[in-house]
Amino acid sequence: MKQTLRFRQIHLDFHTSEAIPGIGECFDKRAYQETLKRAAVNSVTTFATCHHGWSYYDTKIGKRHPGLAFDLLRAQFEACKEIGINVPIYLTAGVHNLAAEEHPEWRELDPEGRLAGWANSNLTPGFKTLSFHSPYLDYLCKQVREVVELFPEADGIFLDIINQAEDCSQWALTYMQSQGLDPLKREDRLQSRFDALMKYYQRVTETVRSINADMPIFHNSGHVTPGFRDILPFFSHLELESLPTGGWGYDHFPLSAKYVHRLDMEYLGMTGKFHSTWGEFGGYKHPNALRYECCAMLAYGARCSIGDQLHPIGELDSSTYEIIGEAYREIAQKEDFAVEARNVADVALLSSASVRGGELFRDPQRESASDTGAVRVLLEGHFLFDVIDPQMDFADYKMLVLPDDVVVGPELEAQLRAYLAAGGKLFLSQNSGVDPERGMLFDVGGDVGELSEFLPDYVKPDEALRPDIVSSPIVMYGKSRRLTVTDGESLGDVHDSYFNRTWEHFCSHQHAPARPEPSGFASGVHKSNVLYLAHPVFSIYRGFGQVALRQYLAKALRGLLASDERLELSNFPSTARVTLMHQPKEKRYVLHLLHAHTINRGGEAELHGGNVSGRQKSYEVIEELLPISDIGITLKLTEKVKSVRLEPEGLELEYSVLKGKLKFNVSRIFHHQMIGVYYE
């Protein structure tokens, strides 16, 4: 895979109202350059147009911002190029207020005939979405063409807000009628939505590539749909938008990164300097948060991008770039250890969302609870893992995890049977692998029945899987399948509650307690290379975060993986993260140890509009970087090790190798430590 993306990028928003005068009046080329250089920035995605619809360059297609007296994009472009900074160019796509106001007939309408999008009333401040079935798409393509022709030396084109609603505008209705689709049926409206998006991808990408076939292009919709690859030919690379404080949280990015890593495309991690979310003036993260976030991007194989928003006067905010500089100066010292690095994994999470990739693209959901819960268990349990879709090769992995609700059709069933026949291991939970007609498709050593009537019920795991902190039955906030063990090994007992909570009978504040006697049904079963758990354990963990449940799951995963596990860590807390990357050209593995204490601060409060819906409950914040010490590491490698070093310091560590196991200790880490393992 050709490496072209730079490691220290800025995504510079500039969504600026026409009611603000003096646009760019304080832009100073030298000050602009010096600020970026001090912050160690080497790429800036700079704006041609904004969500308000204004252009910031000399345009014949759109309209220049009424408060702008010069070509601001050209000035920024030349200032960056003069000092060797790359400049991808940003255009708004899915929202465009100026076009919406000049052509209200281009706007999307929902099935009830109301305005769709963020501003569903002309009295609501906010951005207005347009239909890609309408002539707006022609207008957008003309604007894209103009920018690419004016800036042939640009380092890419970034198109934003690639989304459509269940549009029932006149354009969408005409389209549906022409295709024999019924707008009264939701599935047909979703098909029309899908078709509009695909038309957008094809038209805009063709526009760019007709001028410059090598121009990088990225279409931002804020999410990568696992398993849906139809749109990937329209992308040169991927940018994984994930603002931890903006509602994404710190475990969102790893799920996306561990999936796209297997797509053989370059990718950026994209966070923001903002305390809350996009477009926040005067909100700042602590520098330690950005340091951790950018180092995590390296650890998961990504380049780094930090979002900022330029003040209307055109002057970069000094505080913002002092904070960004603390992160990017560190990345500049470390980035060589991430070039062409490939993730090493024992386990693959077969994403539930990936099995429904096309379906989810038509009817988007931001999250699969089972995928999220499983990733959190794997991260907190310090497993080496990838996230995959059914189109990827299973043979690379010692164990596959199918979390809770993976629908196994005939093709996937054949793949999994071949994987098992070749010695692979399969970890299933609740409905994964259960066919509505045929029942459980794999020989798990038990009969998998219907869902229990009890919600919740309780699990008392066998001793080998028992959580460290309890020996009593633990509550399970999701219905189990009734599992009867036949020739497999039972993994524990289910204890039913006395009854479900109803108006006729309830107990105390929540649910009834567990009956003292087992129900006769098992919580899980293990036979040969297959392990099955009867509850939706990963979705439960996503929803409730029970420590005892995670300990139970980690022991079950390790029990099946057994001697195949490549990495062992001691004195490494659940709040820490680990990845193992391989750089074959340098003949080294790079072990990344990450740690930061996150804390939820703030409470429910109204944000001031924009693209934020509802109320933000709290903010996941990093402030202090607290050390962890005396970490023991055991690593199985086939290569002959010749040195182990702390990087980028280059300090040699003492190590031993016994029976193929490399052992060494790391005395202390603050937020990120790389260990280079060099081999002959």
What are the residues whose beta carbons fall under 8 Å from the beta carbon of 654, sequence distance 6 or more? 664, 665
- Going by the DSSP 8-state scheme, the letter that residue 512 receives in this structure is P
* pLDDT at residue 609 in the model: 58
Q: In 586-606, which positions are buried (b, 16+ CB within 10 angstroms) versus exposed (e)?
A: eebbbbbbbbbebeeeeeeee
Q: Specify the residue for token string 């990827």.
A: 392
CATH 2.60.40.1180 fits 568-679, yes or no: yes
Task: Take residue 435 and report the two structure tokens written for it.
Answer: 């066919």
CA angle 157, 162, 164 (to 5 degrees): 160
Q: What share of the chain is helix, strand, coil (3-state, %, to 5)?
A: 30, 25, 45
Average pLDDT taken over every residue of the chain: 95
Answer for the pair 276, 309: CB distance below 8 angstroms, yes or no: no
Answer for the pair 197, 205: CB distance below 8 angstroms, yes or no: no
Q: Residue 557: which H helix or E strand, with range? A: helix 547-561
Task: Take residue 590 and report the two structure tokens written for it.
Answer: 């790079």
CATH topology of domain 347-563: Rossmann fold (3.40.50)
Which positions of the chain have pLDDT values less than 50? Answer: 1, 613-614
* pLDDT at residue 611 in the model: 53
Nearest-10 Cα torsion for 602, 604, 610, 614: 150
Radius of gyration of the chain (CA): 27
Q: Residue 38: which H helix or E strand, with range? A: helix 29-38
Q: In 241-268, which positions are buried (b, 16+ CB within 10 angstroms) versus exposed (e)?
A: bbbbbbbbbbbbbbbbbbbbbbbeebbb
Distance CA 305, CA 298 (A): 11
Instruction: Tell me the longest C-alpha to C-alpha distance in the chain.
Output: 80
Distance CA 279, CA 309 (A): 6
DSSP per residue, 140-192: HHHHHHHHHHH-TT-S-EEEE-----S--SHHHHHHHHHTT--TTSHHHHHHH
Task: Take residue 57 and report the two structure tokens written for it.
Answer: 């360059």
* pLDDT at residue 678 in the model: 98
Sheet holding 342-343, edge to edge: 342-343, 576-583, 588-595, 672-679, 641-647, 651-652
What are the residues whose beta carbons fall under 8 Å from the beta carbon of 407, sequence distance 6 or more? 355, 356
Distance CA 119, CA 127 (A): 6
* pLDDT at residue 364 in the model: 65
CATH 3.40.50.300 fits 8-168+197-342, yes or no: no
What are the residues whose beta carbons fall under 8 Å from the beta carbon of 608, sequence distance 6 or more? none
* pLDDT at residue 467 in the model: 95
Distance CA 73, CA 319 (A): 23
Burial of 296 (0-12, 13-18, 19+ CB in 10 A): buried
Cis peptide preceding 456, ω within 30 of 0: yes
Beta bridge partners of 507: none
| CATH 3.40.50.880 boundaries in the chain | 347-563
* pLDDT at residue 445 in the model: 98
Residue type, 389: D
Beta bridge partners of 676: 590, 645
| CATH 2.60.40.1180 boundaries in the chain | 568-679
**For 212-269, how does the pLDDT look when each residue is reduced to its tens digit (9 = 90+)?**
999 999 999 977 888 889 999 999 999 999 999 887 889 999 999 999 999 989 999 9
Q: What is the pTM of this model?
A: 0.95
* pLDDT at residue 582 in the model: 98
Answer for the pair 68, 23: CB distance below 8 angstroms, yes or no: yes
Closest to 296 (Cα-Cα) out of 324, 266, 265, 268:
268
Closest to 407 (Cα-Cα) out of 349, 353, 444, 483:
353
| CATH 3.20.20.80 boundaries in the chain | 8-168+197-342
Distance CA 599, CA 621 (A): 5
Q: Residue 45: which H helix or E strand, with range? A: strand 43-47
Phi first, then psi, for residue 433 (nearest 5°) are 85, 0
Q: Specify the residue for token string 């976030």.
A: 293
